[in-house]
Amino acid sequence: MKEATFLKELKELDLLQQTLAILEWDSQTGMPEEGSEYRGETTGYLSGLYFEKKIGSKMKDAIEYFDQHPEELSEVGQAALKLVKEEYELNHAVPNELMVTFSAATSKAHGAWQKARKENDFAFFKEALAENIRLTKELIPYWKKEEKNDYDVLLNQYEPGMTTAILDEVFAEVRKGIMAIRQELNERGTKPNTDFLSRTMTKAQQKRFITKVVTDLGYDFSRGRLDDTIHPFATGINHRDVRITTRWNEQDFMMAIFGIIHEAGHGMYEQNIDEKYEYTPVHEGASMGIHESQSLFNEIIIGSNRSFWQKQYPFFQECAEGTFDDIAFDDFYRSLKKSQASLIRIEADSLTYPLHIIIRYEIEKMIFNEGATVEQLPEIWNSKYEEYLGIRPSDDLTGILQDVHWSGSSFGYFPSYALGYMYAAQLYHAMKKELAVDTILSSDDYSPIKQWLTKNIHQYGASRKPNQLIQDATGEALNPQYLLDYMKKIYFDVYQVNR
Amino acid sequence: MKEATFLKELKELDLLQQTLAILEWDSQTGMPEEGSEYRGETTGYLSGLYFEKKIGSKMKDAIEYFDQHPEELSEVGQAALKLVKEEYELNHAVPNELMVTFSAATSKAHGAWQKARKENDFAFFKEALAENIRLTKELIPYWKKEEKNDYDVLLNQYEPGMTTAILDEVFAEVRKGIMAIRQELNERGTKPNTDFLSRTMTKAQQKRFITKVVTDLGYDFSRGRLDDTIHPFATGINHRDVRITTRWNEQDFMMAIFGIIHEAGHGMYEQNIDEKYEYTPVHEGASMGIHESQSLFNEIIIGSNRSFWQKQYPFFQECAEGTFDDIAFDDFYRSLKKSQASLIRIEADSLTYPLHIIIRYEIEKMIFNEGATVEQLPEIWNSKYEEYLGIRPSDDLTGILQDVHWSGSSFGYFPSYALGYMYAAQLYHAMKKELAVDTILSSDDYSPIKQWLTKNIHQYGASRKPNQLIQDATGEALNPQYLLDYMKKIYFDVYQVNR
């Protein structure tokens, strides 16, 4: 077997993936509403070609041969082989029948979840959720490679190397820290005024502002584009075609502006993976958590930075054509960072957000490691919200039915959101040792920040694992203290706690 | 062999075609400029899968089996088999090597054509054009099935059943007729004033107007969409996803407005083919000429109709927000139909347009049936323009280099444009026997017109040949007199010849 044969097979897989990514992008941004049934036939057929090829004999032969002759592979070939092998080992033992049942169950559960949301009643989702959990538990033994507990197996599908042992410790610290900060703000802080945030800013005005901002931050529109969608996302079709989407609200400019900064962070990651990895599975993010670290670095670290906003505010005011001329910069800045407990995760502010994740993490762990039953879940959910956030959902819609993840059996995914946030704060801490970030954000040239992220994270794609990336970039393993320090700095300033 | 096996194979081919159509649409409407090289790899790979399948053993077996057992096929299966067999017979004897050479030559010729346009010098295109002609002549014997002359073989690739014998006669009549009308306008007509046509109408204003108009005409936006592009087109992805594109000029509203009416005509055809033919090659237009008859019916027959514009003008004025309030309806209507000889085909008005086509037809016939050499072509071209249109190109760019078709070896395509126009006029004549078209166009409900076209043309897709469709719909074969009568009616009215 020649390396070229192996790489050609990977390339063809990648071309099918690129095609599926365009079809998905199209169906979310522009496809005529009536076209979805036909589109399902097309993606179904192409996905079939993709999976056939992925577990086909050529791929199997390549894995077997190069496992014995790794020295015949280039660096790119070796990095690709590693990922292909991992995935192959994860899935090859799973009986095909079980995968089919699993896939059918998630599809059914998605419908049940939508029905339950419509009826605002968890009862309509309970059975399907139980079936998702049962089948996932049946799959775990096939996926389990080392001495891990069951939930660790699920975690590792999204964040290689992550364990409940680490997360228990880290999340306990984060939870305690955030609750202490919230108490401080409550007792000694001054709430920012946010009355003016709902002033009308047209889509065109918002677009003018944010297009310049993300271009400054380093998102490359000559290799990207921005479209409207209901659920915002970023998609890396290939190295030179990385698209982002958003939704707009003319009475709430923060939605699109922070949304686009967020998606541009994902986009910049994909645009700056070393192009030599293209057409292999290495030209992807290292993990969900690392991907989220890049979007949250943009959205929260940059997007909460006083110098950044001080520099941008005059242009923001210009784009708003007078609407915010009467708002002093300090009032504007503070309004962006108001914190308020909410029941809905995707509406949470950057201080309380991790608490929403921790609640989900604890519940998932109870399901898979401690035998919690679906009947118990709503009560567990509501009590945890009361305990951690001080508010209790009054119905299932604002409680346990709010997220799509469980209907798709994506158990173990939620922690990625909080990991990304902690990684972002830790990377920021490391970056500040080398760069005068505030000075850069006060200047006309933000490029050193992007360059730092590309040098330390982006370029490697999936050739390094999350823990290695973080260790190499910051000199230590995941450390939640940086997130807490960062939150204190931002929120104590905004709430004028020490004034 | 079961019919289901045959239909499944056709469906998979169709799904690949749908995918390629989306990729092409995307690359023309939205793909980031840097993405084209990667996109080429994707479409190259998928096209490869498509052609492999198309000439694969399953397809060959199906053709052979059902050729012997046609009674085992449903109506849809039979219609599909007929088309598949035709294409198979056309191409299966062509040596693969020759097709590869042919394909490489056209690709090279396209580059040479662009270079020649840049240099405004036919000399840069001459050799590549000669090679395209040489290879096409080499292919003709493989494509030739009956006693046809060489150019007939080319014509039939775009218009099944069409011959030079028919076109010689028809085009002679059309040419004579148009030249007579032009002389009349010249001697006794009053030229419309067109000064105000260049008044600014914003894209948003134009879009508001034309979206309503094509919706009224029957283009279904719930199964379609309108995008911006450099070269406008319509693409039927599938029955429920038929997209159109346009370019806008705020100083020339006619470009987008007539352009969109035109593309919506193509779109309405694809949207109204009987859905039972979906996933087979029957769910396509019957020919280039028939497809063009539907776009030109919209653009020229509807778009030149006085009642139509009388009804729409108040709304047009409303959309233009005052810009045309000082223009009386009669002046506005007449301005749309000014005729003026031009050197450029795509800028030609609806009276002189067929002359541009006839010139190309005559030249192509000289090349393939009469041995004209490429050296002679510019002089032939220029003399014919002088003879038919009274103007002579002063350079190659406004002369022989203006069209892309020959660089792609699309010899025999041009007549489709004129055929479409003649079909449209003939269909209009037949329609008027059953419908009070002017009354309908003065009303709020245009649907009887679309229904008539669907009943007589759209629904059949490619299950009937052009000549059968025209015979059945109009009661006679192609008759150019309807076009000439129509032109006289419109232009004598606009030019007030009989006043």
Q: A328 — phi, psi (to 5°)?
A: -65, 150
| Residue B196 contacts A, CB cutoff 8 Å | no
How many beta carbons lie within 10 A of that of residue B322, not counting itself?
8
Q: Is the dihedral of CA B416, B421, B424, B430 positive or negative?
A: negative
Mean local confidence (pLDDT), B436-463: 98
Each residue's pLDDT tens digit, A482-492: 999 999 999 99
Contacts with B, A 251-290, CB within 8 Å? 278
Max Cα-Cα span within chain A: 70
Search chain B and give the residue with CA nearest A221: B32
Q: What is the pLDDT of residue B96?
A: 86
Binary contact (B34, A221; C-beta < 8 A): no
| Residue A78 contacts B, CB cutoff 8 Å | no
Angle between helices A447-456 and A466-474 (to 10 degrees): 130
Q: What does the alpha-carbon distance between residue B470 and residue B472 come to, in Å, rounded to a whole number? A: 6
pLDDT > 90? residue A147: no
B141 and B128 in contact (C-beta within 8 Å)? no
pLDDT > 90? residue A145: no
| Residue A94 contacts B, CB cutoff 8 Å | no
pLDDT > 90? residue A498: no
CA distances from A499 to A483, A484, A493, A494, A496 (A): 22, 20, 9, 10, 5
Q: What does the alpha-carbon distance between residue A11 and residue B45 come to, in Å, rounded to a whole number? A: 10
CA distances from B392 to A198, A276, B176, B384, B481 (A): 64, 54, 19, 8, 28
Q: What does the alpha-carbon distance between residue A211 and residue A221 come to, in Å, rounded to a whole number? A: 9
A484 and A177 in contact (C-beta within 8 Å)? yes
**Facing B42 at nearest CB: one of A18, A32, A37:** A18
Burial zone of B199 (CB within 10 Å; 0-12 exposed, 13-18 middle, 19+ buried): middle
Each residue's pLDDT tens digit, B181-220: 999 999 999 999 999 999 999 999 999 999 999 999 999 9
Binary contact (B222, A23; C-beta < 8 A): no
Element (H, E) at A67: helix A57-68
Each residue's pLDDT tens digit, A254-265: 999 999 999 999
**Facing B35 at nearest CB: one of A30, A38, A223:** A223
pLDDT > 90? residue B93: no
Strand partners, A225: A243
Number of residues that this document lists for chain A: 499
**Facing A15 at nearest CB: one of B30, B45, B239:** B45
Tokens of B184: 């009349």
Find, among B404, B407, B385, B403, the residue nearest to B394 by Cα: B385
Q: What does the alpha-carbon distance between residue B426 and residue B59 come to, in Å, rounded to a whole number? A: 39
DSSP of B171-198: HHHHHHHHHHHHHHHHHH--PPP-GGGG
Strand partners, A244: A226, A234
Mean local confidence (pLDDT), A81-96: 89
Each residue's pLDDT tens digit, A96-142: 899 889 999 998 999 999 999 999 999 999 999 999 999 999 999 99
From B263, B270, B284, B362, the catalytic residue = B263
Each residue's pLDDT tens digit, A228-282: 998 899 999 999 999 999 999 999 999 999 999 999 999 999 999 999 999 999 9
Q: What does the alpha-carbon distance between residue A189 and residue A358 come to, in Å, rounded to a whole number? A: 25
Each residue's pLDDT tens digit, B408-426: 999 999 999 999 999 999 9
From A3, A131, A159, A263, the catalytic residue = A263
B455 and B499 in contact (C-beta within 8 Å)? no
Q: What does the alpha-carbon distance between residue B406 and residue B141 come to, in Å, rounded to a whole number? A: 20
How many beta carbons lie within 10 A of that of residue B424, not counting itself?
26
Number of A:B CB contacts under 8 A? 92
Each residue's pLDDT tens digit, A411-433: 999 999 999 999 999 999 999 99
Q: Which residues, including other chains, have CB under 8 Å from residue A400's CB and lie 6 or more apart? A: A122, A377, A378, A381, A382, A393
Binary contact (B23, A26; C-beta < 8 A): no
Where do runs of H (alpha helix) occur along B159-275? 164-188, 203-217, 253-271
Which of B19, B215, B242, B273 is the best mutation test for A, with the most CBs of A within 10 A?
Answer: B19
What is the separation of C-alpha A2 from the centre of its chain, rounded to a whole number of angstroms? 37
Q: What is the pLDDT of residue B180?
A: 97
Q: What is the pLDDT of residue B412?
A: 97
Q: What is the pLDDT of residue A3?
A: 97
pLDDT > 80? residue B456: yes
pLDDT > 80? residue A499: no
Each residue's pLDDT tens digit, A168-181: 999 999 999 999 99
Q: What is the CATH number of domain A144-499?
A: 1.10.1370.30
**SS3 state of residue B325:** coil
Q: What is the pLDDT of residue B55?
A: 84
Each residue's pLDDT tens digit, B103-130: 999 989 999 999 999 999 999 999 999 9
**SS3 state of residue A240:** coil
Q: What does the alpha-carbon distance between residue B499 and residue B497 come to, in Å, rounded to a whole number? A: 6
A53 chain-B contacts, CB cut-off 8 A = none
> Distance, in angstroms, between A236 CA and closest chain B CA?
11
pLDDT > 90? residue A410: yes
**SS3 state of residue A195:** helix
| Residue A436 contacts B, CB cutoff 8 Å | no
Binary contact (A32, B238; C-beta < 8 A): no
Q: What does the alpha-carbon distance between residue B9 and residue A342 come to, in Å, rounded to a whole number? A: 53
Percent of chain A surpassing pLDDT 90: 93
Tokens of A352: 């309380």
> Distance, in angstroms, between B224 CA and closest chain A CA?
5
| Residue A53 contacts B, CB cutoff 8 Å | no
Percent of chain A surpassing pLDDT 70: 100
| Residue A52 contacts B, CB cutoff 8 Å | no
Find, among B199, B193, B473, the residue nearest to B331 by Cα: B193
> Distance, in angstroms, between A26 CA and closest chain B CA?
8
B223 chain-A contacts, CB cut-off 8 A = 32, 34-35
B231 and B263 in contact (C-beta within 8 Å)? no
Element (H, E) at B136: helix B123-143
Binary contact (A241, B45; C-beta < 8 A): no
Mean local confidence (pLDDT), B307-333: 98
Q: What is the pLDDT of residue B148?
A: 86
Q: Is the dihedral of CA A286, A289, A295, A301 positive or negative?
A: negative
Q: What does the alpha-carbon distance between residue B136 and residue B369 come to, in Å, rounded to a whole number? A: 12
pLDDT > 80? residue A76: yes
Q: What does the alpha-carbon distance between residue B339 and residue B328 come to, in Å, rounded to a whole number? A: 20
> Distance, in angstroms, between A218 CA and closest chain B CA?
16
Number of residues that this document lists for chain B: 499
Q: What is the pLDDT of residue A202?
A: 98
Find, among A456, A461, A459, A448, the residue nearest to A472 by Cα: A456
| Residue A40 contacts B, CB cutoff 8 Å | no
Binary contact (B15, A46; C-beta < 8 A): yes
pLDDT > 90? residue B145: no
- Average pLDDT in chain B: 96
Tokens of A284: 């992807």
Number of helices (H), then strands (E), in chain B: 20, 3
**SS3 state of residue A2:** coil
How many beta carbons lie within 10 A of that of residue B244, not counting itself?
28
Which of B8, B11, B15 is the best mutation test for A, with the most CBs of A within 10 A?
Answer: B15
Tokens of A363: 């519940």
CA distances from B169 to A261, B150, B415, B459, B481 (A): 65, 18, 13, 30, 12
**SS3 state of residue B433:** helix
Mean local confidence (pLDDT), A33-60: 92
Angle between helices B123-143 and B353-369 (to 10 degrees): 70
- For the ranges A194-208, B52-66, B380-394, the lowest mean pLDDT is seen at B52-66
A247 and A232 in contact (C-beta within 8 Å)? yes
Q: What does the alpha-carbon distance between residue B139 and residue B368 come to, in Å, rounded to a whole number? A: 12
Task: Report the amino acid identity of residue B2.
Answer: K
Domain with CATH 1.10.1370.30 in chain A: 144-499
Mean local confidence (pLDDT), B280-300: 97
Q: Is the dihedral of CA A94, A99, A105, A106 positive or negative?
A: positive
**Facing A38 at nearest CB: one of B38, B39, B241:** B241
Strand partners, B242: B224, B236
| Residue A244 contacts B, CB cutoff 8 Å | no
Which of B20, B31, B38 is the best mutation test for A, with the most CBs of A within 10 A?
Answer: B38
Find, among A18, A453, A6, A10, the residue nearest to A239 by Cα: A18
B9 is catalytic: no
Mean local confidence (pLDDT), B353-371: 97
| Residue A19 contacts B, CB cutoff 8 Å | yes
Mean local confidence (pLDDT), B34-58: 92
> Distance, in angstroms, between B484 CA and closest chain A CA?
40
Q: What does the alpha-carbon distance between residue A280 and residue A239 come to, in Å, rounded to a whole number? A: 11
Q: What is the pLDDT of residue A148?
A: 86
Each residue's pLDDT tens digit, A286-295: 999 999 999 9
- Average pLDDT in chain A: 96
| Residue A24 contacts B, CB cutoff 8 Å | no
Binary contact (B22, A26; C-beta < 8 A): yes
Task: Report the amino acid identity of residue B441.
Answer: L
Q: What is the pLDDT of residue A317?
A: 98
* Rg, C-alpha atoms of chain A: 23
B488 and B426 in contact (C-beta within 8 Å)? no
Element (H, E) at B234: strand B234-238
